[in-house]
Structure 1
Amino acid sequence: MFDSFRKYNKIIMVFLFLLIIPSFVLFGVDRYQGGAQGEKVAHVAGVDITRPEWDAQHRNEVDRIRQQAPNIEPALLDSDAARYATLERMVRERVLAAAATKSNMSVSEERLARLFAADPGLATFRTADGKFDRETFMRATGRTPEQYEASVRADLATQQVSLGVSGTAFATAAQAAATLNAFYDRREIQVALFKPADFAAKVNVSDADLQAYYKDHMALFQVPEQASVEYLLLDLDAAKKGIAVSEADLRSYYDQNAARFGSKEERRASHILIAAPAGAPAAEREQARAKAEQLLAGIRKAPDTFADVARKNSQDPGSAEKGGDLDFVTRGAMVKPFEDAMFALKKGEISALVETEFGYHIIQLVDIKPAVVPPFDKLRATIENEVRSQQATQEFAKAAEAFTDIVYQQPDSLKPAAEKLKLTIQTASNVGRTPAQGATGVLASRNFLNALFAPDTLERKHNTEAIEIGSNQLASGRVVQYSPARALPFEEVKDKVRTLLIAERAAALARAEGEAKLAAWKTDPAGASFGAPITVSRLETQSQPAPVIEVALRADTSKLPALVGADLGAQGYAVVRVIKGVPRTPPAPEMAKQENEQFAQAVGAAETAAYYNLLKNRFKAEILVPKPADSTSMAGR
């Protein structure tokens, strides 16, 4: 039998090859490619945006915001609303880019050159001789100069699309006045409130009523699901602990950075300036030089007269009246020829004539404060922290790879990863699916909590995968104990049920009484009973509920006084007597101008939004994932 198999094994292998490979080609590759591309979350102009692209863009935005505002609440950045806002911005950018391409919008080389020359951020990447340091730029930004230039070109082109609308928007004074006067409109009103608390004593509820309310509102009496968890956090601080730094490395770092650790040498000088700008005629400069040489000759004969000569002759308005005194300065504070001459002098010496772009100087060195560098022992802790920090990023990358492998390969415990990487296992109880109010760190990460409450993690009590919760921060956790959501027993919440039911019925009685009074007072206004008149507006509510303000301002001013009702929901009912309209006090001219400008900006924003919606339809832009229920648009953030 085995001989037969050996004889025909090549034939069998060929048969299997012919059978399996076509199946792989037809199905496996397609699935693999589909999986690599990721779920489609939006598309613009026939091009898809995938979930991996969305995730990567959101991580970049979160990192940028964290750098700008390190103390921002992590839960805000990790919320569904924030993630959706990132997707909205991605769609917007692609819509505008498509419009710019369609309209053949471009940016001239001259404009780009002016922009780059004026950019202070780019100036930091230029060397002393004015050359652009390509390598430093790539390390700092993660992009090549060509990629950065292409990004700027694209941004400027898309800006032209929206500026074509917002930049040409305008509003007339009449339009602004009509809108603003309506917004600032005021009413003099009287209010009669019907509060639920005044009707609570009239409400009688039976046990049967309570039981029925309990059953109909079971969601109000639920204990949410909770878990006791343990977790590990790997971050740069943890990575630092694994870095070994020798004493020789620390001393070498100290020697290389001694000037930075201590105070620089400072010098105090006085000077006399005979002004002769670089662009002045040669004759004028020669005349200034001759005068400076004459003064220098006199000072050399009588050095003690330097301050008096400076007061009488120096043309530097900042120092002349102080006898030429420039106070203490370090290197880099003065133009180079002046600085070189000043730092070459000994205390009390007077320089030869020094020529700069401002004219001719005579310098007297008054005092020297030598550089002071603290001893190595005093700076050792600081130096060690800096050295570890410099190596931490590279060490973190190695530790992150090990962390990811261990929590996956040994899913039943976090202990192996903790021991391997010298991490501390942390615990937490009463953890829910969403971040608790005020939560920080790992437990504020929605992605981490989603992984904790995933079915496999809950059922098998396995470690989560390594979850990125922030820049250079990985976490993994496991559920130790899980309590599903459950309804509290009726007897345990009976008092709460009674309070809620009485409040609901009292509010209904208050509403019914208010509606009845409104109808009666419309028939017999003399029988109405209201509070004292007050003047209200959208900006000055006088502590009145929003529905009261709305019905008062919507009342027909041609038929005043008028009675209107406002349903306040759980707060009862209000009958409002609108007495008269109160015109807005005309604003001061400066305020009026500012308001008109703000109104014009609002008109421009509205027209831009309308144009963007038109472009979305034109380029068939669509977001394929549902908008979070708690999300208001944050796309303009």
Structure 2
Amino acid sequence: MFDTVRKHQKLLQLVLMLFIVPSFVMFGISSYSGFMDKETDLVKINGKPITTQEVDNAAKRQAERVGGNMQIAQSLQFRQAILNELLQQRILGFAVINLRLQVGKEALIKSLQGIPQIRALYRQDGSFDDARFKQLLASNGLNEEQFYASQAFDLKIGQLVNSVARTELATPKLSEIVSTLYETERQVQSLAFDAKDYLNKVNPSQDELQAFYNANAKLFEIPEYVDVEYIVLKADPKEDAKVFSDKADQFANITYDQSDSLKPAADKLRLSIQSQKGLTRGGVAGVAKDHPLSNPKVMQSLFSDEAIKNKRNTEAVQTAPGVFVSARVITFHPAQIMPYKDVAAEVKRQVSQRAAEKLAVAAAAERYNVLEKDPKSSAGFGNPIWVSRNKPANLIGPALDDVMSINPDKFPAVVSINNPGVGATLYRVDQVRQPTGVDDKIHKAQAQQIQALGAQSEFASFMAYWRDAASVKVINPLKPLNSGSGS
């Protein structure tokens, strides 16, 4: 939520570059409903709707801004994100109007001077090119009155967001208390009961092995995989941005319109068709993270019904700045269970491991019961170490939580932690201390984290309040474009 607001602030400052509907249209500074009365209402804020057409137009403009791929603008996930952004902006706009916030002339001028396009209109002698300014506004469909009104409105939203974000701690002592809790050290000894130490005590029968295989056949399944072809469009560093944008449009449109083959797009744009066999949902093993088939969206598309059952090209996906990928499934290999004879050794390993783990956990429980009666005994435990939440050593998760939550009045004390797949470990705690030489940088970082959490919580409460005040109502869910949702 908080990250979204920061992005929102940045967008507000760059009004002339927005491809989403300008704020004065969103919030009613000028009329926007006249030509949208017949569109499907999705959400209403104070009785005023956000329509399917608004979302689709905003999605289209935003997609153009990041490379001109219209398939991105048509995806339900992207359009839903746009709807969420529009909804948040409308709620903030409603709050601004109801709070009757004001913006001074100096603040408005300073804001305008911070827009690169506005700064570029100043001549070398310091004078302002008013003619070019009006042309710039006109090219964005604005007149001066609308532009100044929208800028003032955006500044009011910025004031509101910043005031909510500057949340103070409920008490100045809170960060000090939290830091103290994180710095407090406890002396710990450990005693591990590992399954590997009990393997020589187990010998499963053939019937046990076969029964385990029958009950856990999924463990011995070869996952589904596909053999695929794919093409990659990469921007040439020396290439004009507009030229590449046109190529990206062609890439997306051809792979979509002629979805039964990658060849038309490859021929048109002079791209090589590459292939990859044995591709699972986990991706390609042993390749770099920037490999085209390592992209989660590409992988998700390749295992969709459209790609597997209908053998269609995937949508063009931007995997990195200036890189677009489309792929198609050539052969689909369904998942299959391996025969017992092929996995007999692995079945025995798993059954033996589980049996040994049970023995290890039982031994740990038996020793724990003894130590509860005599916690002062440290026989068998390793050398003591000092741990804290800031410096947990090898203690993680439940082990650290349990060790740090023991009441010092009960020292020495022992806790038992099960380690699934490994066994169990006993931890003996007998001393507590506050360290010397506290790191001020850590203190400051923790205080900032607490402050940020407080601000996020405050903003969430703020948005919830104004959502209710604006009578936000969901009218219809946003539907995929191909479902006849009125787009």
TM-score (norm 2): 0.70
Aligned partner letter, 1:131:
D
3-state SS in 2 of match to 1:607: helix
CA contact (8 A) 1:134 1:145 kept: no
How big is the shift at 1:186?
1.6
Check conservation: 2:227, 2:330, Cα contact below 8 A.
yes
Between the aligned partners of 1:117 and 1:538, the Cα distance in structure 2 is 48
* Structure 1 SS opposite 2:160: helix
1:500 aligns to what SS in structure 2? helix
CA deviations on 1:534-568 (whole Å, 9 max, x unpaired) are 21111212223432221111101222222222222
In 2, Cα distance between the equivalents of 1:108 and 1:102? 18
Check 1:416–1:484 CA distance in 2 against 1; reply closer, same or farther (3 A cut): same
- On the 8 A contact 1:176/1:599 being kept in 2, the answer is yes
Match in the other structure for 1:521: 371
Query: Which residue identity is paired with 1:105?
Result: L
Any unmatched runs of 5+ in structure 2?
Answer: 1-35, 69-75, 479-487
**Which amino acid in structure 2 is aligned with residue 196 of structure 1?**
A
From 328, 342, 345, the counterpart of 1:495: 345
Letter in 1 for 2:371: W
The 8 Å contact of residues 122 and 128 in structure 2, kept in 1 or not, is answered as yes
Cα separation, 1, equivalents of 2:343 and 2:141:
60
**Contact 2:40–2:51 (CA under 8 A) maintained in structure 1:** no
State the 1:126 CA deviation.
Answer: 3.3
Q: Give distance in 2, aligned partners of 1:158 and 1:444.
A: 40
Q: Give the Cα–Cα distance (whole angstroms) in 2 for the partners of residues 593 and 414 of structure 1.
A: 55
Unaligned runs of 5+ in 1: 1-32, 65-79, 238-384, 627-637
1:104 matched residue in structure 2 = 100
Whole-angstrom CA distance in 2 between matches of 1:425 and 1:61: 28
Post-superposition Cα deviations, 1:44-97, rounded to whole Å, max 9, x if no partner, equal 666458675796588589779xxxxxxxxxxxxxxx999988876665444433
Residue 194 of structure 1: CA displacement?
1.4
Letter in 2 for 1:408: D
Query: Once the 2 structures are TM-superposed, how far is the Cα of residue 512 of structure 1 from its aligned partner?
Result: 1.9
Contact 2:227 2:279 in 1 (8 A): yes
Percent sequence identity over aligned pairs:
24
1:135-156 deviations in Å (ceiling 9; x for gaps): 99689x9786878766654543
User: Partner residue of 1:404?
Assistant: 253
- Aligned AA for 1:561? P
Deviation of 1:574 after TM superposition, in Å, equals 1.9
SS at 2:421 equivalent: helix
Partner Cα separation in structure 1 for residue 361 and residue 166 of structure 2: 51
Q: What secondary structure is seen at the aligned counterpart in 1 of 2:192?
A: strand
CA distance 1:590–1:517, change in 2 (3 Å): closer
Q: Which residue of 2 aligns with 1:426?
A: 274
Distance 1:541 1:82, change over 3 A: farther
**Cα distance in structure 2, aligned partners of 1:61 and 1:213:** 56
Change (3 A) 1:171 1:490: same
Which residue in the other structure is 1:329 paired with?
none
Q: Contact 2:361/2:418 (CA < 8 Å) preserved in 1?
A: yes
Superposed counterparts of 1:256-405, under 5 Å: 389=240, 392-393=243-244, 395-396=246-247, 399-400=250-251, 404-405=253-254
Q: How far apart, CA to CA, are the structure 2 residues paired with 1:218 and 1:43? A: 51
1:206-231: CA deviation from partner (whole Å, max 9, x where unpaired): 23323333333333322222222223
Contact 1:200 1:502 in 2 (8 A): yes
Q: Does 1:509 align with 2:359?
A: yes
CA contact (8 A) 1:538 1:549 kept: yes
Shift, 1:432, TM fit: 3.6
Whether the aligned pair in 1 keeps the contact of 2:376 and 2:412 (CA below 8 Å) is no
**In the alignment, structure 1 residue 116 sits paired with structure 2 residue 115:** no
Distance of 2:305 and 2:440 partners within structure 1: 65
Pick closer, same or farther for the CA change 1:544–1:159 going to 2, 3 Å.
same
Q: Secondary structure of the equivalent of 2:436?
A: coil
Question: Is the aligned partner of 1:532 residue 2:380?
Answer: no
**In 2: Cα distance, 1:151 partner to 1:88 partner:** 21
Query: 1:445 deviation in Å?
Result: 4.3
**Cα separation, 1, equivalents of 2:167 and 2:256:** 58
Structure 2: distance between partners of 1:416 and 1:589:
62
Q: Is the 8 A contact 2:416 2:424 kept in 1?
A: yes
Flag the 1:136–1:469 CA change in 2: closer, same or farther, 3 A: farther
Partners of 1:84 and 1:582 lie apart in 2 by: 52
Whole-angstrom distance in 2 between the partners of 1:82 and 1:201: 56
Aligned partners of 2:200, 2:246: CA distance in 1, in Å?
Answer: 70
Within the alignment, does 1:415 sit opposite 2:266 as a pair? Answer: no
Equivalent residue letter for 1:551 = D
Which one-letter code corresponds to 1:160 in the other structure?
A: Q
**Structure having the higher Rg:** 1
* CA shift in 2, pair 1:523/1:235, >3 Å: closer
CA separation in 1, counterparts of 2:241 and 2:158?
A: 39
**What do the CA deviations read for 1:158-211 (whole angstroms, capped 9, x no partner)?**
333343344352454433332221222221122222122222222222233233
- Correspondence for 2:128: 130
In 1, the alpha carbon distance for the partners of 2:199 and 2:408 equals: 36
Structure 2 residue aligned with 1:212: 211
Partner SS, residue 240 of structure 2: helix
Find 1:557's aligned residue among 390, 399, 408. Answer: 408
1:347 matched residue in structure 2: none
CA distance in 2, matches of 1:49, 1:500: 56
Deviates more, 1:447-456 or 1:55-64: 55-64
